[in-house]
Structure 1
Amino acid sequence: MADEDFNTGHSGASTTYPVQCSTLRKNGFVMIKDRPCKIVEMSTSKTGKHGHAKVHLVGLDLFTQKKCEDLCPSTHNLDVPHVNRKEFEVVCVVDGFLTLMDDNGDTREDLKVPEGKLGDEIEERVDAGESVRVTVLEAIGEEHVISCKNTK
């Protein structure tokens, strides 16, 4: 019991949970090559003479949008990430980081402005004085801004 550290704020809960491969569905989430992915295609092959039915999964990485593929026996388990989606109001952009406020009025300044078109769009709208809300997706300990919209 002496090696327990009770000063950390971590509950010890896993970032993923196991699910039998045959129960996964299109538009669901799955871990492929240790990355959280959204399933965009899946097909099941029939059982062969000496084996199990196999499920072919094609997914897009939630954060990089890269295509990932996996082949798994339908009776085996795959990990599914816990995915959370939150919305925040953008207060300002400072040195490439977003200052965000949630519905309770709590602020955070730890998320970078996303690269590419989305980041440019957020910065343009904030500079123009528009009220902007962003959607933040969280999975396996990573958080990224995935979309933005104007608030009325």
Structure 2
Amino acid sequence: MQLAKANLAPWSSQLELNCLDMLEQLGQIPDHSLDLVFSSYAIHHLTDQSKLVLFKECFRVLKHSGSFVLIDVMRNDGQNRNDYLNNYLSMVEKDWVAINPIERARITEHVRANDFPLSPSEYQSLARQAGFRKEGLLDAHSFHQAWAYQRLS
């Protein structure tokens, strides 16, 4: 958080940084009070039901033209979790050469136990259920994607 605060210092009067349980924190924010909710590499750890709750809470706290930006790992449409995990971890083993084998083993253990990514279309479905009416792909690189979901009501 200290590094983020330092990097964002020129805009410090326009933002508030928090590092808390995301669902708990969102529940404490007043309706229609934020312009932006940003999440990076966190949501894939939630259950599918908690992901829906998160989308609904993001929709609730956003101003009428606000956006929820999601950066995370994503499965391909139609791909099951097991195939995703095998493909993702093969990429880690092949491409993450700067990380020693012990650390890669820890990453593998973490990913297999804790990663539950959805596909872009599954996230779009959650967004629609929550009330979002516009979404757009911001960037994609392999398994990693950035999406914006805009509240238009």
Larger radius of gyration: 1
Structure that is richer in helix per residue:
2
Structure that is richer in strand per residue:
1
- The TM-score normalised by the length of structure 2 is 0.26
- The TM-score normalised by the length of structure 1 is 0.26
